[in-house]
Structure 1
Amino acid sequence: MATNLEIDENLLQEALSLCEHSTADRLIEAALREYIQRRKQLKVLELFGMIDYEEDYDYKQQRQTR
């Protein structure tokens, strides 16, 4: 999909100098993948502490039954 973007040239050049990607297209695609991955991680972190386990839950026994 062809898309025209106006990206700060200095920002783009700095990013290219810090990565292994040879083209701006690959750099932007990698950046979007990292962005998506990070946002998904943040959503998982929001769930921290929201799951209640029973008092007698034995995770070691659960692992052995698999």
Structure 2
Amino acid sequence: MPYALFDGDRQLGPGLPTEAEVWKQALQAGLISDIPVADEAGGQVLPPGYRVKETREQGCTPDPAWKLPDEIS
């Protein structure tokens, strides 16, 4: 499942394959000064409102009443 950086509910960047890649992207963008280490207890790393989370593929189911045209003009 891909991960991305969010500001509130708005996705800021593309979905990346791993959470680590999103942290690296935030580092390159200057949002953070260092990538957090999992075993370190720390405070807020990203600016307030920002977070890294899994993205879900958003698909839609087609309307069953919709039909393709018989001919294309």
TM-score w.r.t. length of structure 1: 0.25
**Of the two structures, which has the highest relative contact order with CA contacts closer than 8 Å and spacing of 6 or more?**
2
- Structure whose residues are more often helix by fraction: 1
- Structure whose residues are more often strand by fraction: 2
